[in-house]
Structures are given as C-alpha cells and as structure tokens.
Structure 1
Amino acid sequence: MLSVRIGFSPLNDAALVVLAEALGFYSAEGLDVSLSREANWSNIRDKLSYGLLDAAHVLATLPLARGLGLGPAIGHIIAPMALGANGNSVVISSKLKEVFEGLGASTLLESARALRMVIQHRRAVSEGKVTLAIPFNYSPHHFVLRHWLAAGGIDPDRQVQWVVLPPSRMADHLRDGVIDGFCSGSPWPQMAELNGDGVVLFSDPAFWTLKPEKVLAVRGTWGEDNPQAVVALTRALLRAGQWAVKAENADDLARLLSADLYVRAPLEAVQAALATGGAGLILDPQTATFPWISHAKWFIGQFVRWGLTEDNHDFDAVARRIYRPDLWRQAAEPLGLALPIDDEKDEGGADVNWKVRARPHDIVMPPNALFDGGVFRVHRG
C-alpha cells in the first residue's frame, strides 16, 4: 500500500476525509492513510508546501491563492474534487441581533443595511469599529462577509475591523465583547449559539444555496509522482460521500464527527449543524463534489474585487491548472456517477432544481442562487 499523509481541520465539512478512514475506503483503494488534525489553515498550507502533508481538506480558495502568488511560493497544489457544499454560518452578538430586530431587519440585505446604521451610530458617538472574525484572510468566509457587507452599502476595508482567529476560539471572543461577529465552519457557530455566546444570523444556503467551500488539495509534486494514487484517493472520498448521503447513516455520521479523534465537539452542536435549517452542508458526491472551473473563477474574481491580486493573470489558465475535473471523472466513472460534459456552469440564477448536461444521463441539481440575485455567467466558446 502507498502511504499518504492527509491533513484536516476539525470541522463538519471534513466529513468525507474522516469517513473514508473510519469506513475503510482508503485501504480498499490501496492507500495507507494517516490523518493529521491541524489547528489552523496556515498550518495546513505550510505543511503542504514543505512536504509534511501529501493532501489535505482545505478552503476552496487556498490552492487558488497559491496559484495567484499569494502566500508561500513553494510548490503548487491541485484540487481534484470538492468536499461538499455549504457548511458555514455567521454568528453575531445577542446585542447586535436585538438591534437588527428593532430595525425590522429580516433578510440578508436588510441586516446588512441595519449594520450600516450601527456603524454610522458608533462613528457618531466615537465608539470603535464593528469587528468581525474570520479563520483565514484568503477564505470563502472573508468573501461571503465582504459580499454581504457591500450589498448593504458598507465599505469592508474602511468601515470594518477584521481579525483572524481559530474557529474554536471565536465564540469566546464574541462572549467577551472583543468581536461583534464571526463566520466559521460548523459546528462552532452552533456551539456558540447553544452556549448562549451569540446568535446565528445566517448560514451558507441563505447567502448562496449551493456555495463552494472546501476542496481536496493534493501537493503537486506528490500528485505527479503518484497519478493513480490521486485518482484512488478521490474515489475513496467519493465512496464516503455515497455513504454519507444515506438517511439511515445520519446518526452515525454525527457521532463519528463529534469524536475526539476528529472534530472534538459536543454531539448536540454537530447534530444542530447537520440538521435541516442548520449550516446546510451537502455531501452528495454527484451534485456537490465536482471541481467546477466556474467556482474557481468566481473566487478568483473575488480576489480581484477586493484588491488581493491584480487582474493581469490568465484566470482561465490558473483555474484549470489547479481545479482538475479530469481527475474527478476518472475517479467517479467506476462508481456509476454521471460525468458532467462541461467544466463550467453559471453560478447563481437557479431558484429551483435544474439540470447539468452529463453522461450517461443529465444530473438534477439543487437550486443555485445568490441572495442578491447575482449571476456569474460563463462564456462557452
């Protein structure tokens, strides 16, 4: 068996990575996997860079940041699959929630506009800026919050203070009044709410019903040396997804994730996040694991929008060098999954179920809509 070192962050959306170990899918694919529970995304990034990890559960933006020249410039990373969709929540202080309710804010747009009024009031009385926590600068959490704030007329660079914290510590800082809110992966937002440290304002599905979030990252040189192992690793994770989507496995999934070896969180918090109306995590291998080039381009667009990179890159080339739909297809075909014909799709604009062209049959997809009605359209030649 080939030895593989895989890192993961203690979050519910590491489900496929830990399930594949617990259920024996890695060994069934000829892989001797050792998992490494990591404290933060910087650790994972650096260990991938220096060859201490061969693969990892990472933010969908992390390999793209590397491809755009942000962060350590050692080596490159490829992403042969997504590890699901959604899974994050935004938590605010109870005091801020009361203000929003007093202003009649019941939608995401209304809450962003209400926050703008809070910011204006604090400035008028010489109070500090609204402070929001994220787990990593180049993260989907950061882009979600910025997109939401901007929709309400707030300048995220000038009117908000940003801090980076480990998700498991964010609730403590919210309770102590150090921050006003945070965005992180589940189950930590749900744990904060259960402990009375804050209130969940919205979760990923309210922002984007089919939001990309985490991917499997593979160290480029390891992947080049072991191309069949990359496919085998991807297939093991897809098999984990096939197990995870079965309703009869829901309780076992929650118990497994809550274990000390993996997420190390109260079962009640894990279950709250996985339940209907929770963080909206989708683990379906057919609809939520394909590494869409359009996802990569949307994220790259956010890097440009917020001044994190210049717009002089060949974005199509960057996206296709990192996101690898070809490897997903190789892994998925023996499992009987339908294979998307295109590598890109429109992001947003689908309020109801819709279909993706695929063989041997089209794929019925869940709604794919952004809260502000925006649509990121692809241009097919």
Structure 2
Amino acid sequence: MLSLRIGFSPLNDAALIVVAQSLGYYEGEGLDVSLSREANWSNIRDKLSYGLLDAAHILATVPLARGLGLGPALGRIVAPMALGVNGNSVVVSSRLMEVFEGQGADTLLASARALRDVIQLRRGAGAAKVTLAIPFTYSPHHFVLRHWLAAGGIDPDRQVQWVVLPPSRMADHLKDGVIDGFCSGSPWPQMAEVNGDGRVLFSDPDFWTLKPEKLLAVRGTWADENPDGVIALTRALLRAAGWASDPANRTELARILAQGAYVGAPEAAIELALDRAGLILDPQTATFPWVSHAKWFMGQFVRWGLATPDHDFDAIARSVYRPDLWREAAAGLGLNQPLSDEKDEGGQAEVWALSAKPADILMPPNALFDGGVFHCAPVAHD
C-alpha cells in the first residue's frame, strides 16, 4: 500500500476527499490515506509547501497565485482533477437583505445596484464602509464578489472594506455586526441563515452556472516519485464522484459530511446546502481540470491589479492543470474524454454537447449572470 496524507477544509466541496476515505475507494486503489482537517487555506498551502501534506483539497486559485509570483513559496503543484463545481453562497445581514427586497432587487445586477445605493447613503451619513468577508485573499470568492460589485457600479477597492476569516466563524461576525456579508463554501452560509444570523443573497449557479472552485492539488515532488500513485488517487476520487453524484446517495452523503472528523455541521444544514448551493460532483461534467478555468482566474488577477499582464499564462496554467493525468485515470472508468483542454467559459444558457471521445458529453449550462463569455482557442487533443 502506498501511504499519503491529504489535507482538506471542512466544506461540502471536500465531499470526494472524505467519501473516498469513508467508503474505501482509496484502499481499493492500493492507497493508505490519512486525512488532515485544516482550519484555513493558509494552513493547507503551508503544509503542502513544507511536505507535511502530499495532496490537498485546495482553492483553484492558490497554485495559480504562486505561479504569478504572489504569496509565499508553495513549491510545484500538479492538479490532475477538479473536485466539482459550484458550492459557494453569498450571505448578507438581514438588514441589508431588507433593503434589497424593498427595492425589488430580484436579480444579481439589481442587488448590486441596491448595494451601491446603500454605500452612497452610508457615505453621506459618515458611516463605516460596507464590510465583506472572504476566506482567502487570492480566492474565487473574492473574484465573484468583485465581479458582482463592479457590475453594479461599485468600486471594490475604494468603496468596500475586505476582511479574511475562516468560513466557520463568518456567521458569528455577521451576527455581531462586525461584517455586513460574506462569501464562503457551504454549509456555513446556510448555517448562518438557519441560525438567523443572515440571509443567503445568491449562490454560485446564480453567478456562473458551471463555476470552477476547488482542485485536487498534489505536491510535485510526490507526483514525480509516485506517478502511478497520482493516477490511483485520481481514479479513487473519480469513483467517489460517481457515488456522490447519485441522487439516491444524497442522504448518506450528508450523513458522512456531517461527521465531526469531516465537515462537522448538522445534517439538515448540509442537505440544505447541497440542494441550494448548486454543488455538482458528477465525474464526467465537473471534474475535468480545464485549462480555460485557470486562464479565467488569472485574468481576474490581472483585472483587479493583483498581477501584471506580462506573464506566460498558458505555461502557468498547464504547469498546474493536468488534463493528461485526468484522461489517464478516467480511461478505464468508462468516461468520455474531452477532445480539447480548453473551452469557452460562458455563453451556454442551455444544456449543450461537448466534443469528446468515444462520445460527446452532454454538459450543463455554462453561463455568467452578466452574459459575459471568456473565449479560448481550443487545441485538439490527440
């Protein structure tokens, strides 16, 4: 048996990591896995850096940030698969939610404009800025909130105060009035709502119907030393995805996640989050490590002044995202293989067919709330 240690954050989108352990998929692939429940993303990043973890459930943006020269040294990371799509929600205080509803803000764009009006009123009254919490500076949550705010005419740098908090503590800060809202992975937004500390304003599918979020990150040195182990690990997680995405297993999935060693939240809140936050765990449509996702994220780094445009974005993306490893692991599992490593992100409001072999893949809608499309130039995979 090949031994390895995998870190994860206590979130619903760590489902594949914990299901593979709970149901024996790692052992079935010849792996002796120990899991490490981590308090925050910095812990996961640093433990990967120092070799205290061999692999991890990680924000898709973290290894890209390092490739752009941001943050402390992380070492080389390879990502043979995504761990699903969607799963985050944005929560605001009940007071703010009443303002949105009072203005008939029933779309994302309308809600952003309503918040712009709140900001203007606060500034006129000499009150504090609206304060929003995120779990990590270089995170998809940060980019979602910035994109949404900007669409409503709000300057995210000048008109909003940002704070970084662990997701499990965000509801307490909202309750105490320290923050006005937050974006985090589920089930913590739903916990805030159930406890009466705030209201969910929108979730990932409202922003982007097929939004990338987490990766399986494998330490480069471990991957080099254990190439068969990387494939075995990926295959175990793809098998876990097949189980976790079956609606017949939803109740059992919530029971597994609720355990204290994993997410450690009430089953009812976890089930509510699984229903409402749009988390997709399907191995065929939600686990391929799209290079176009990496490029979209790096475009956000540049858009918000966190990185300069003078990088080789294709090289950075392909040094982390490894569709070749996904294809190798998926080959014996009956999954269809995308013909390209990239696709347009956005512009698909309905179910659509993705070119793949031996058969095309029927994909969920892939659309952003503002109608934007991130165009890529797909290169065929032989």
TM-score, length basis structure 1:
0.99
Q: What is the aligned-residue RMSD (CA, Å)? A: 0.7
Determine the C-alpha separation between the residues in 1 that align with 2:378 and 2:17.
Answer: 33
Determine the C-alpha separation between the residues in 1 that align with 2:94 and 2:225.
Answer: 52
Determine the C-alpha separation between the residues in 1 that align with 2:73 and 2:189.
Answer: 33
Give the match for residue 377 of structure 1. Answer: 375
Give the match's secondary structure for 2:200.
Answer: strand
Q: Which runs of 5+ in 1 are unaligned?
A: none
Determine the C-alpha separation between the residues in 1 that align with 2:302 and 2:10.
Answer: 29
Determine the C-alpha separation between the residues in 2 that align with 1:44 and 1:379.
Answer: 33
Give the match for residue 81 of structure 1. Answer: 81
Deviations 1:77-111 (A, max 9, x none): 11110000000000000000001111121100000
Determine the C-alpha separation between the residues in 1 that align with 2:2 and 2:87.
Answer: 31
**Which residue among 319, 337, 353 is the counterpart of 2:317?**
319
Give the superposition deviation at 1:67.
Answer: 1.3
Give the match for residue 360 of structure 1. Answer: 358
Give the match for residue 93 of structure 1. Answer: 93
Give the match's secondary structure for 1:250.
Answer: helix
Of all paired residues, the percent bearing the same amino acid is 76
Determine the C-alpha separation between the residues in 2 that align with 1:334 and 1:379.
Answer: 29
Determine the C-alpha separation between the residues in 2 that align with 1:238 and 1:326.
Answer: 15
- Relative distance call for 1:298 and 1:248 in structure 2 (3 A) is same
Corresponding letter in the other structure for 2:75: G
Q: Which runs of 4+ in 1 moved over 2 A?
A: none
Deviations 1:222-251 (A, max 9, x none): 111111111110000000001112121111
Residues 1:115 and 2:118 aligned together: no
Give the match for residue 34 of structure 2. Answer: 34
Deviations 1:195-242 (A, max 9, x none): 000000000000000000001000111111111111110000000001
Give the match for residue 14 of structure 2. Answer: 14
Give the match for residue 195 of structure 1. Answer: 195
Aligned ranges 1:259-270 → 2 under 5 Å = 259-270=259-270
TM-score, length basis structure 2:
0.98
Give the superposition deviation at 1:380.
Answer: 3.7
Give the match for residue 208 of structure 1. Answer: 208
- Relative distance call for 1:78 and 1:345 in structure 2 (3 A) is same
Give the match's secondary structure for 1:345.
Answer: coil
- Relative distance call for 1:358 and 1:37 in structure 2 (3 A) is same
Deviations 1:43-71 (A, max 9, x none): 00000000000000000111111111111
Give the match for residue 153 of structure 2. Answer: 153
Determine the C-alpha separation between the residues in 2 that align with 1:228 and 1:195.
Answer: 46
8 Å contact 1:66–1:77 — kept in the other structure? no
Determine the C-alpha separation between the residues in 1 that align with 2:312 and 2:194.
Answer: 46
Determine the C-alpha separation between the residues in 1 that align with 2:31 and 2:296.
Answer: 33
Aligned ranges 1:1-381 → 2 under 5 Å = 1-275=1-275, 278-380=276-378
Give the superposition deviation at 1:74.
Answer: 4.3
Corresponding letter in the other structure for 1:343: D
Give the match's secondary structure for 1:288.
Answer: coil
Q: Which runs of 5+ in 2 are unaligned?
A: none
Determine the C-alpha separation between the residues in 2 that align with 1:19 and 1:70.
Answer: 32
Determine the C-alpha separation between the residues in 1 that align with 2:199 and 2:167.
Answer: 15
8 Å contact 2:343–2:377 — kept in the other structure? no
Deviations 1:99-137 (A, max 9, x none): 111112110000000100000000000000000000000
